[in-house]
Amino acid sequence: MSSDPDTVTLGIFGGGTVGGGIVEIINKKASYFQQLTGKTIKVRKVCVRDASKPRDFVLPDGCSIVTSYDDILNDDEIDIAVEVMGGTTDAKDVVVGALSKGKSVVTANKALIAKDLPEIEKLLASLSDGTQFRYEAAVCGGIPIIRSMQSDFVGDEISLMSGIINGCTNFMLTAMDRDKKSYDEALAEASKLGYAEADPTLDVGGFDARSKLKILMRLAYGMDVEEDEISCRGITELTKIDFEYATMLGGTIKLLGVAEKSEAGEVSAFVSPCYVANDDPLSSVNGATNAIEVVSDNLVSSVYIGQGAGRYPTANSCINDIVALAKGDTTPLPFNPKSNTKYVNNYSSVFFLRLNYRDQVGITRECGEICEKHGVSIHSILQNPKAKSQESAFAIVTEKVEFAAILKVLADIEALSWCKGKPFYMPVLREDWQS
């Protein structure tokens, strides 16, 4: 550890967007951090793949660019390792290596947390030197949701978490709804503005949101669930007509990660496009902004809104963890760190079904018979929202029913001769229809 007891030294793995933001903030607020913590926070080394690549941040005095992980791991002067390089394999190696050498770790790596948190926690439990592992920036960038989940619900019981936890898809859905853009147009704009990766699959497929939801479930319910067990659908099947139906119903569409604990104590979860009513606090969260609503016994409803990604929002959360370590704060534990709570790969909701068809007699009758066969009650049937639309479609809104029954209904409808393509479905988040 640092030979100067009044100095906290950092080694940063990754000199890109977030790593550069961390260096910038420390350069800018060094004197304030010294007053706040009583220590000088210094960046000693930044590890990058290509040392010759120009950087868009200024290295502080005494800081060097290195290319070997060992240059940080084996440096006894470094107190805190900051992992912001992404990926999982190398990231896990440096995180485990740093912790094993007595260095506390700060990371923004949601994929690593979702995949390897139990193993990392086991390693931490075996250490007796006060080494800490902090990951505030791993979920929703600039929103302090991790810290809130770890410390603000100690005497509470969380029954529901529902959140917009991917900025790229929320930007796209806003463009499709508000600006009437097609899916392809919205994706092109998101890519142009840097919200979407070159390969946007993790975002548009819902997988990024699923990783974040798994982390939140661990904190809220003390349970480890394999990501593949969480039902996950992205936004690729959405069309303009779905937003027209949503407008007819008095709402919009958001990609949400939802986890709910039933009265029986079972937890279910999913990631999916959802119909959200206009009076829901999540309906007005637009652009690349993230938001999470937490429903609990004592606080009733708490909503957290902020920037979910980007250089400074993510770097800010990393800085908060770094400053906490410099102050000597201990890591708050999940209020429910171990639990026998059962996870069920099923959930109940009202559902919206959009069906494209070839015109023939008896379509609605057949749909009604299939729904009755599987115990699904129909709340309403919606005709095509635009009489002159080239898309022949209608929609069914069900009563509250189990997801498993909806899958059976959709499979039977898809097999009918008049059904064109795969039927689209999404949960409906509207309290007055959930009875």
Residues classed as catalytic: 212
Contacts of residue 201, Cβ cutoff 8 Å, sequence gap at least 6:
207
Q: How far apart are CA 372 and CA 376, in angstroms?
A: 6
3 state SS for 147-164 = HHHHHCCCCCCEEEEEEE
Among 335, 331, 333, 269, CA closest to 296: 335
Q: How far apart are CA 249 and CA 246, in angstroms?
A: 5
Among 37, 51, 41, 48, CA closest to 12: 48
- What is the full DSSP assignment across 336-356? S-S--PPB-S--EEEEEEEEE
Among 371, 358, 383, 379, CA closest to 245: 383
Q: How far apart are CA 225 and CA 290, in angstroms?
A: 23
Q: How far apart are CA 96 and CA 103, in angstroms?
A: 10
**How are beta strands 251-261 and 158-164 bridged, if at all?**
antiparallel
Whether residue 151 contacts residue 332, with contact meaning beta carbons closer than 8 Å, is answered with yes
DSSP 57: S
Contacts of residue 280, Cβ cutoff 8 Å, sequence gap at least 6:
251, 429, 430
Report which residue type is found at 433.
Answer: W
DSSP 298: T
Among 33, 26, 13, CA closest to 61: 26
